[in-house]
Amino acid sequence: MLLSEAGWVKGARIPDLMVYEAVRLKAYYESTPDWEDKPFALVPDLAIGIVSPNDKYSDIDARVERYLQDGVRLVWIVDPQRRKVVAHRPGGAPSVSLILGDTLTGAEVIAEFMLPLAELFAIP
């Protein structure tokens, strides 16, 4: 089946991983009883992109800008090759680059989340 036949919107942006607040997800399911039969149309609270070796920085940057314009509250770009995570927030807030020794947090999106980058990248 072609994506266009499935009702997908051309140019839809789908990050590698998405996180939704449970209350927003529940409200979406309740307000969209046929949600399983059509493209999922809820902007995530957190979008996570994983950098692959052939990704271009300009493409990644454009994706981040579009996610934030769409209303994503937090974007993490995870670069396994460089063992680095860059956190982006909307509203002109500066991005934050995290390297080994730093701890990734969920900020206000996942308030209790904390993960040392050494654990994320499995560094003993």
User: Does 3 or 97 have the greater pLDDT score?
Assistant: 97
SS3 10: coil
pLDDT over threshold 80, residue 6: no
> Which domains can be identified in the chain, with CATH numbers?
17-120 (3.90.1570.10)
The letter for the amino acid at 110 is I
DSSP string, 29-85: HHH-TTGGGS------SEEEEE--TT--HHHHHHHHHHHHHHT-SEEEEEETTTTEE
Distance CA 41, CA 27 (A): 12
Q: Indicate the DSSP class of residue 3.
A: T
12-50 confidence digits (pLDDT tens) = 578 999 999 999 999 999 999 998 888 888 999 999 999
pTM as predicted: 0.85
